Chain A
Amino acid sequence: MELYLGVSLIMFFAGVYGFLSRKSMLMILISIELMLNAADINFVVFNRYLYPGHLEGFYFTLFTIAIAACETAVAIAIIINIYRNLTSVEVGNLDQMKE
């Protein structure tokens, strides 16, 4: 169990690091996906080891994946719009709600 959790921990902090250090919005989006997946692994691991007869963790994971897909779609739509307006996807340029 600790091994699985170790994997998810590394994934999560890799995501955090990516989120904070990357400039491109696409990379930030990918980092967010990493963190989400780390959380999914945790769900599955805890369900498998702590409550072996139950299925809630698995279902949560399925839902999370579905939501993550939606969120990615929305985020990419936003990024495309930003790119059209600013011709860049650098997050550092986005410090105002309006131009």
Chain B
Amino acid sequence: MQYTLLILVLPLLSFIVLGLVDSKWKPKVAGTIGTVVLGIITALSYFTAWEYFTTAKIDGVYQKIIPMHMEWVRFTEFLHIDLGILLDPISVMMLVVITTISFLVNFYSLSYMHGEKGFQRYYAFLSLFTFSMLGLVVATNIFQMYIFWELVGVSSFLLIGFYYTKPSAVAAAKKAFIVTRFADLFFLIGILILSFYTKTFDFGALTAEHPTVFAGAAGATFMGYGVISWAMAGIFIGGAGKSAMFPLQIWLPDAMEGPTPVSALIHAATMVVAGVFLVARFFPVYYFQTPEVLHGVAYIGAFTALFAAVIACVQTDIKRVLAFSTISQIAFMMVALGVSGYEGHEGTGYMASMFHLFTHAMFKALLFLGAGSVIHAVHSNEIKDMGGLRKYMPITNWTFLIACLAIAGIPPFSGFFSKDEILSASYEFSPYIGGLMTFVAALTAFYMFRLYYSIFWGKDYTIKAAAHGHDDHGHGHTPHESPFAMSFPLIFLAVVTVLIGIVHLIPGLPHFGEFVSSTGADYHIQIDPTVAIMSVVIASISILIATLMYRKPTATPDKLAKTFSGLYKGASNRFYLDEVYLFITKKIIFNNISRPLAWFDRHVIDATMDGFASTTNWVSFKIRKFQSGQVQQYAYVFLLGTLIIALLVIFVK
């Protein structure tokens, strides 16, 4: 399966070509190149998935395949950095998810980004992102993963800051980069500790069923916990940074400053699940070596899920609602991993997490692209500018509704099955976590339908002629359905969302658990009737409440906001967490650490360097007179010098 290398190389080439030609080619050419390349690698990864899932099964267990492997840098016998491609069920699944969404987003952007300045640059960055994300998921060792991890961070930074003339976009890009980079520092420390004790970077050795590499770490502890626990906790913090777990979630809502298709691709479907993927990749290590860290993952996930869901209920910017919903859903996946066991039925959580990752990527991308379509039509992100759009945008309306039903967990849509598995895994772990997750699922249904009704129902759309001064590309004053390039991805994703659900309803068709599970063996998805019925009932009740409150403009939301004004204010200000961060960084870190350092830099280090410079300058001015330009004077000095040397030679032996 050597051809899998092409999946990596093609987007890289596309990035280099598009990046080099920049604006020399017509935007259309650049967009076509990007989209066609993505189309090719999407086809390639479907083929890879087909070949892998039909041939790689030995004794009922999917084997790991390494079609490409090379040593990149070799320091010592143990310390060498390899590059390669590792195919196993989760990486193949990620290949499919990433290339599909990426292709659809490329296609969608042809229309959405039409006429934007820097269109070619946009496509170059999209290719770079796709390349690095694919490199991340197929990494054979943790160091390769780290390299691509950082590349993903960079491309995310570049794309958030795509509108670099907007100060808020620049600030958001910096924030995203700094927060994730800060988390990556812990990731790096984790990697270093882990590989120092295990003498390997290789996933194969680390995640083997009976690993021998941890022998060296036995008994080594630090502050009461084993060193491996610290290492794995550090690695999890890295993952939490990318996946926006509490308290590192502050960058993701701001990252919505980027173009909407980018939000769909990076900040909803692919990059933000890198943390989940990381934990899943290391799952055997977490489970066998450091179960306490794994439980920590579950608790952090559960808290984040609740926290983000509460905030999502009161946000008024549609992209921000979706951003908090993303955080909450990723937290679901983290919880599922945290509560998972390893083999057989115990491994529900792992399977559920990957399943939810898969279905969530599809419907969340759908939601974001739908939101992009709405924003494209009404030129605003705010809920209050929308309402009653269902008459104008039927396709967006229906696909958005499907996605909302899926995320709310209503059968037969895909989200129902994955969320149900997560819930039953949580109940098995602890009834408290299970109950909490059910509550969060109810909140999810509520805020998604609040969003849905506010956009497509509610008050009739009022046309604001004054606000539409920029109807330069043919928009009428009434919002209308988006062009084919934008509606096709919506329809495609909606069909996928429905199909995945239906496939799991019918016995006999291949289920997700047959492809991806913690051990590689078949996992039979069983719907737990109590959990399923309860979650569906609760979700339906939430939807009903949302319908009553938001379908027609009513006074209830305002009344509720007044009754719980403390909670409402806190949630709409995101519980002041950004302010806390600002306080810590600006007041404490800047004043106590950065300013003294800056003073030291300016007054000691710079002063020393300035001293060298000014001394040289001073000396030069003093000796300038020697260079008078008078040849005879030079000759005179020369003669004197010669005489002195001659005398020295003669008289001083």
8 pairs of residues in contact across A and B, judged by CB atoms under 8 Å: A20-B636, A28-B632, A92-B630, A94-B631, A95-B628, A95-B629, A95-B630, A97-B629
Among B628, B630, B639, the residue within 8 A (CB) of A16 is: B639
Which chain B positions have C-beta within 8 A of A95?
A: 628-630
- Please measure, in the bound complex, the distance between the C-alpha atom of A94 and the C-alpha atom of B629, giving whole angstroms: 7
Residues of A within 8 A of B466 (CB): none
List the B residue with the shortest CB-CB distance to A95.
B629
Which chain A residue lies CB-closest to B627?
A95
B465 interface hit (Cβ, 8 Å): no
B626 to chain A, nearest CB (A): 13
CA distance A91 to B634 in the complex (A): 12
Interchain CA distance A57-B635 in the complex, whole Å: 28
Q: Report the count of interface residues on A (CB-CB < 8 A).
A: 10
Contacts of B632 in A (CB 8 A): 19-20, 28, 91-92
Residues of B within 8 A of A16 (CB): 639
| Interface of B (DSSP majority class) | helix
Q: Which residues of B contact A97 (CB under 8 A)?
A: 629
B 630-653 contacts with A by CB, 8 A? 630-632, 635-636, 639
> Which residues of chain A from 16 to 74 have any CB-CB distance to chain B below 8 Å in the complex?
16, 19-20, 28
Which residues of B sit under 8 angstroms from A87, Cβ to Cβ? none
CB of B120, distance to nearest CB on chain A (Å): 49
Within 8 A of A (CB), among B600-649: 628-632, 635-636, 639
Known contacts A91-B630, A91-B632, A94-B631; 10 further A-B pairs (Cβ under 8 A): A16-B639, A19-B632, A19-B635, A20-B632, A20-B636, A20-B639, A92-B630, A94-B629, A96-B629, A97-B629
A91 proximity list for chain B (CB < 8 A): 630-632
Taking CB atoms, residues of chain A closer than 8 Å to B635 are: 19-20
CB of B329 to closest CB in A, whole Å: 75
Chain A residue numbers with a CB within 8 Å of B630 are 91-92, 95
Q: What chain A residues lie within 8 Å of B631 (beta carbons)?
A: 91, 94
What is the predominant secondary structure among interface residues of chain A facing chain B? helix
Please indicate the chain A residues that have their CB under 8 angstroms from the CB of B629 in the complex.
94-97
CB distance from A39 to the nearest CB of B (A): 14
Total cross-chain contacts (CB, 8 A)? 20
The interface bits of chain B over 184-217 (1 if a CB of A lies within 8 angstroms of the residue's CB, else 0) are 0000000000000000000000000000000000
Q: What is the distance, in angstroms, from B627's C-beta to the closest C-beta of chain A?
A: 10
CB distance from A92 to the nearest CB of B (A): 7
- Distance (Å) between the CB of A33 and the closest chain B CB? 15
Q: How far is the CA of A28 from the CA of B631 in the complex (A)?
A: 11
List B contacts of A94 (CB < 8 A): 629, 631
Give, as a whole number of angstroms, the nearest-CB distance from B638 to chain A: 10
B629 nearest CB across to chain A (Å): 3
Q: Compute how far the CA of A95 lies from the CA of B628 in the bound complex, rounded to whole angstroms.
A: 7
Shortest 8 CB-CB distances between A and B: which pairs? Answer: A95-B629, A20-B636, A95-B630, A20-B632, A96-B629, A95-B628, A91-B631, A91-B632
CA distance A92 to B636 in the complex (A): 14
Name the CB-closest residue of B to A23.
B632
Shortest CB distance B634–A (Å) = 11
Give CA–CA (A19, B636) in the complex, Å.
9
Q: How far is the CA of A96 from the CA of B628 in the complex (A)?
A: 9
- With a CB–CB cut-off of 8 A, which chain B residues contact A96? 629
> Which residues in A have their C-beta under 8 angstroms from that of B628?
95
- Shortest beta-carbon distance from A18 to chain B in Å: 11
* Measured CA separation A95–B636 after assembly (Å): 15
Q: When chains A and B are docked, how far (Å) is the Cα of A96 from the Cα of B639? A: 22
Chain B nearest CB: distance from A63 CB in Å? 24
Contact with A along B14-28 (1 / 0, CB 8 A): 000000000000000
B636 surroundings in chain A (CB, below 8 A):
20
Assembly CA distance A96 to B631 (angstroms): 10
How far is B643's CA from A16's CA once the two chains are assembled, in angstroms? 12
Q: How far is the CA of A8 from the CA of B550 in the complex (A)?
A: 117
Q: Complex formed: what's the CA distance from A28 to B630 in Å?
A: 13
CA gap between A95 and B631 in the complex, in Å: 8
Q: How far is the CB of A97 from chain B (nearest CB, A)?
A: 8
Cα of A91 to Cα of B633 in the assembled complex, Å: 11
Bound complex: CA of A19 vs CA of B639, how far in Å? 11
Q: Which B residues are in CB contact (< 8 Å) with A92?
A: 630, 632
Chain B, Cβ-Cβ closest to A19: B635
Q: How far is the CB of B494 from chain A (nearest CB, A)?
A: 78
Chain B nearest CB from A35 CB (Å) reads 11
Return the chain A residue nearest B639 by Cβ: A16
A92 to B639, CA, bound (A): 19
Residues of B within 8 A of A19 (CB): 632, 635
B534 to chain A, nearest CB (A): 94
The proximity string for A residues 80-99 relative to B, scoring 1 for CB distances below 8 Å and 0 otherwise, is 00000000000110111100
Determine the distance from Cα of A97 to Cα of B635 in the docked complex, in whole angstroms: 17
A85 → chain B, closest Cβ, in Å? 16
Q: With a CB–CB cut-off of 8 A, which chain B residues contact A20?
A: 632, 635-636, 639
The complex places the Cα of A97 from the Cα of B629 at a distance, in Å, of: 8
* Nearest CB of chain B from residue A79's CB, rounded to whole Å: 13
Q: Which residue of A lies closest to B631 (CB)?
A: A91
CA distance A53 to B152 in the complex (A): 87
Bound form: Cα–Cα A98–B630 in Å: 14
Minimum C-beta distance from B204 to chain A (A): 71
CA gap between A96 and B632 in the complex, in Å: 14
